[in-house]
Structure 1
Amino acid sequence: MATKLIIDTDPGVDDAFAIALAALSDDVELLGVTTVYGNVPLAATTRNARRVLALCKRADVPVAAGAERPLVYPHPHRARYAHGADGLSGRSSALPEPGRELERADAVTLLTRLLEAADEPVTIAPIGPLTNIAALLAAHPGLRERIARIVVMGGAMDHGNTTAAAEFNIWSDPEAARRVLAGGEVPCVLVPMDLTYRCAVDTEWLATLAASGPVGAALDALTPDYLDHYRKALGWNGVVLHDAVAVAEAVRPGILRTKRFPVDVECSLGPARGTTVVDRRRPELRADTEGEHAPGTVDVAVDTDLDGLRAFLLDRLTGRTRAS
């Protein structure tokens, strides 16, 4: 049975890979894509998402633009240092023009419409700031039962990438992240940076993708700025496909190994803002110290078969085994 999926995204190079992963998987019913500010401003993320879908020949998938800023405070800065000025290493215009008009409805309206129309619960994969998803849960509490789970790429248990403590997606809108992750309203899987870094792929992997055909070549062509950034971050020639790792879990539940922990998000304005607080104490100890307002529990992805995950991504993106 195909997984019914909606992706909420801020493309971004790794977002482009994640969208393509879902769009090219024939065991996924990609109901829609919604966009949010993040790596670059909303107009650019929306354009990029539509062009990636055009690359994958998925004009059937509706796209709606969402939030252009966080819920409370302005967005401090974008991630051009990793993704380039247009979000795709300056190569967005090399992708095909969109084959479908942008939805007139905003992201939350499209999410609502798709959830109401679905004949079974839908998985939502937010792989950017969580502003749209927090707004959906706040405005439409009756739709919670129509959401199978929310698979979030974000957070870090060890150290951040945008600040010493915070990962970019959570840091971009901590208040929204806290509503989604700590609210306990919908089952959540959190795919943190700690694991996605371990799933990094090397240039040989990228070369195999590039040689696979037009789609693989186009995706590889989006990576030069991204590769420059991750060469510094990793210390070797490779890239971290954060969002594709999360969408892999949405596409194939269980490909990542998870453990259940209480999760909270630091929303102060100090240096810890945006920190994902994963309580890894033994449950017996937590029971002695938690108050009545303890945060919700989340399935946190902690491990995977690294080579198997890389092979799964490559097989799907090259079309070798679309639904194996």
Structure 2
Amino acid sequence: MAPVRTPAELVAAARAGDRRATARLLTVLENQRADDDGTASAIAGLVKGGDAQVVGITGSPGVGKSTLVSALIGAWRAASLRVAVLAVDPSSPFTGGAILGDRVRMADHALDPGVYIRSVATRGHLGGLAATTGAAVRLLEGLDFDVVIVETVGVGQAEVEIASLADTTLLLLAPGMGDGIQAVKAGVVEIADVYVVNKADRPGADAAVRDLRAMMSLVRREPYEWRQPICTTVASEGKGLEELVAAIGKHHDWLAGGDRLAEKRRARAAAEIRARLDAALRVRFAVPEALAAAVADGEVDVASAVRRVLGDTG
């Protein structure tokens, strides 16, 4: 049996490129509970700092998020940057399990020591992310990765939490899928820093770009505010990647030009606290089966049931 390594030994091994050590560190953070033995806190104290560029990628299912992530990994690795990916997958509401299949599309990078890919289950958390994603991002930053990519579930209208987690958020659209109308209806368009029309070799790509430009024309921007660029890509063929990487870099430079990047990081910390609170409250205020049955039978109204769960019967 292999000896149990201390948090300091795990961090040192992870920084040296040991993927198992990195995986172990992330597992400790994902499974952290309020009554843990302090291991997660010790790990957090050892990985303070880091200045990774955090890039969030969101969009409806089928627009090619995982394929684009794979292409971006290749582009950043060509520039000798270390890249980590957190691919968030939805958990089953019945079994709690997740498919965790995004790594299949990123198999080309599986043996690259400069790339670490982790699939993460949402475990019931809403907003397109897992409750522990923020902690995982900070850990990977502290392990000296240059870029951390967070690929969201792809749930569409509810998926706006990524904007507070990432430094730069990409919104992916694809021609012929009604994404332009979806973006307007959901307001998702407002969270993006860079728009990406992927699968741009398909009919309707030009129309998708025109729709985005029309939407952007309706939003007033001050001269000092960021104006979202529109990039077109064919991720499966690597087309448009150079322009997209340049747009991401330009946005990061804009953030770093003032207090904007620090403000983003503070917002990320606040979002993580809220996510952890939400997860803790779900456990602490679980709904008893008997109470749910009483509401279903009409014996108790919902407002009274909520007060009972909260312990307020007054």
TM-score under structure 1 length normalisation: 0.36
Q: Which structure would you say has the larger Rg?
A: 2
TM-score by length of 2: 0.36
Greater per-residue helix proportion: 2
Relative to total residues, which structure has the larger strand share, 1 or 2?
A: 1
